[in-house]
Copies of this chain bind each other. A is one copy, B any other.
């Protein structure tokens, strides 16, 4: 769902590898492709998912597309993870267990 969309970024080995590469700064697709053993169209597909998830942002620069981690997207993911895993104080639960 909408909420789940952010975390999809982290649910694939190749995408984790891409994210790791982006930790050291902005990179163009061709540079990322060089270090991965996947087809160019496959990389493009993963980049679309990463950008859609909000974790990565893309910037067109001539014929290149440069990708980087999005601080905003990261904050969103962290906040959402916090929200989803907050254990609420007992008392407002009406169930009998």
Q: What B residues does A10 contact at CB under 8 A?
A: 3-4, 7, 81, 84
Asked whether any CB of chain B lies closer than 8 Å to the CB of A23, the reply is: yes
What's the tally of chain A residues with a CB closer than 8 Å to chain B?
38
Which A1-43 residues have C-beta < 8 A from chain B? Answer: 1, 3-4, 7-8, 10-13, 16, 19-20, 23-28, 31
| Chain B residues with CB below 8 A from A4, complex form | 10-13, 16
Which of B7, B86, B92, B93 is in CB contact (< 8 Å) with A7? Answer: B7
Query: Which A residues contact B (CB, under 8 angstroms)?
Result: 1, 3-4, 7-8, 10-13, 16, 19-20, 23-28, 31, 55, 66, 69, 71, 74, 77-78, 81-82, 84-88, 90, 92-93, 95, 97
